[in-house]
Amino acid sequence: MKSRTELPSTLGALRRSRYSEDLIGERSVKQEMRVNLIAKIQRGESLFPGVMGYEDTVIPQVVNAILSRHNFILLGLRGQAKTRLIRLLATLLDPQLPYIAGCEIHDNPYRPLCARCRTLVEDLGDGVPIAWLAPDQRYVEKLATPDVTIADMIGDIDPIKAARTGQNISDELTIHYGLLPRANRGIFAINELPDLAGKIQVGLFNIMQEGDVQIKGYPVRLPIDIMLVFTANPEDYTARGKIITPLKDRIGSEIRTHYPATIDHGMAITGQESWVDRHSPVKLNIPDYIREVIEQVAFLAREDKKIDKRSGVSQRLPISVLESVVSNAERRALLAHEKLAVPRIEDIYAALPSITGKLELEYEGELKGGDTVARELVRQATAKVYSHHFEGINVSNIIQWFDLGGSLKLDEAAGSAAVIRQLSSIQGLLDRTGTLGAGANDDDALKASAAEFILEGLYAHRRINRSEERGYSSGEKKRDSAPDDMGRRPGGASRRQFN
């Protein structure tokens, strides 16, 4: 790639370079993206690096839309990487693009649109100064809100400019261009399109399709070259706002995004996006079963009837929870002066504020309370992950220890060595930690985390009990009249459990 100083700096030099009129003059931004996309596919390059879980669903549809030179909309719930995906479209633009220096709308040197640039080409000819655009300068993004005006999007008459230049107020040279014209020869993305007022959508459609618009009664002809991309929430699409029919008709492709289809995909995304590779005085080690429980919480929440499915459960939930879990383990290790921090199940309960703030509850959920709903999700997630790792493994000796009257209350702030001393009294418990990758020769922090997970798994399956007063204890009474998932007992009575 040439440096900026080596690129042509005048129109005459541009004509004599490889950026000829045949290449730059006629090619639209959609054609440019199509050509660059084809080249990437042929080279076998990653098209949208960092976007995971869409390889067989969303990305092929986005590729088809670009190859078809369509404007398109991504339709999906919150936290489905819609914004990240559209921002990566800028990677399909040329490394540099010439425009007439000083032009607010980045006019094509061979096909100027604005009055200033047309006059400049007539007066200076090949001496017209040329500047260059990088891909990130050709991407413009706007969050749609009800207070957005035509002046914001299209432009307005600028009386100060008119007074400074001595131009008539109705002269095209007095226009202050809005975001859309300034995105000329680039990508213009609008997030949450239904929130945009109908009259603004009309203005968008008019300048996009007809190439003209009226600003304060003054007609302006601007056949701009642009790629339009939108995002919207399916609920907003029909309830809070709407997309006007003429604009909707011009959106070539409607592409549905989705949450991760599998736990593995979800864990990969959470691992990529969460801030856990951090500088710390202690070394961090996050067991896979802890990651699985955190991800499983999000999957269960998306199916829970107590949680509003129309709002969705963002992928930001497991990301935030994992960060909070790691921080709690880090804090405990620092207080205990340990060199290794390993998250435990108790750290997930400590991270409940990262869960409750991201759940929109239905009426039943509101009655139970966000904290109770979140605790139930953690318990159910632990049960699922425990079954995954311990199916067919005999843990009867551990249960027998509690049935014979044993009980154990763990101190959340206790160091790993102290926890191991407590856990070693339970027959067979530490022997089973190897199933989770924590062998006899591993650090106490790893063994403590694994052993506590086993106990919590048994509690989640109601094989043992747990209470605030006694900690883990016999589950005999609980099995005699085991509550269902809603905490109800036979006869309609309910008993509040410490989760």
**Domain boundaries along the sequence of the chain:** 52-68+71-79+136-256, 263-492
Beta bridge partners of 255: 74
Distance of CA 47 to the CA centre of its chain: 18
Token pair for 277: 């590779």
**What 3-state DSSP class applies to 93?**
coil
State how far the Cα of 449 lies from the Cα of 287, in Å rounded to an integer.
8
Q: How many CB atoms sit inside 10 A of residue 372's CB?
A: 17
Angle at 408 between CA 403 and CA 409, to 5 degrees: 145
Give 190-203 pLDDT, tens digit per residue. Answer: 999 988 888 888 87
pTM of the model: 0.85
Cα-Cα end-to-end distance for the chain: 60
CB hemisphere CA count around 372 (13 angstroms)? 14
Q: Which residues of the chain have pLDDT under 70?
A: 1-5, 158-174, 208, 211-218, 236-241, 476-499
Cα–Cα nearest to 422, from 430, 362, 109, 299: 430
7 neighbors 18 (Cβ within 8 angstroms): no
Give the DSSP H/E element, type plus range, for residue 449. helix 444-460
Q: What is the dihedral of CA 137, 52, 325, 431, to 10 degrees?
A: -150
170 neighbors 98 (Cβ within 8 angstroms): no
What per-residue confidence (pLDDT) applies to 403? 93
Q: Is 406 exposed, middle or buried (0-12, 13-18, 19+ CB in 10 A)?
A: middle
10 neighbors 127 (Cβ within 8 angstroms): yes
156 neighbors 99 (Cβ within 8 angstroms): no
Distance of CA 30 to the CA centre of its chain: 26
What per-residue confidence (pLDDT) applies to 169? 57
What DSSP designation does 323 have? H
State how far the Cα of 268 lies from the Cα of 479, in Å rounded to an integer.
37
CB hemisphere CA count around 406 (13 angstroms)? 17
328 neighbors 351 (Cβ within 8 angstroms): yes
Between the alpha carbon of residue 271 and those of residues 52, 261, 264, 322, the distances in Å are 11, 16, 10, 9
State how far the Cα of 448 lies from the Cα of 445, in Å rounded to an integer.
5
The CATH homologous superfamily to which domain 52-68+71-79+136-256 belongs is P-loop containing nucleotide triphosphate hydrolases (3.40.50.300)
Q: Concatenate the DSSP letters of all residues of 325-390 into one string.
A: HHHHHHHHHHHTT-SEE---HHHHHHTTHHHHTT--B-HHHHHH-HHHHHHHHHHHHHHHHHHHHH
Token pair for 355: 């869960």
State how far the Cα of 353 lies from the Cα of 331, in Å rounded to an integer.
17
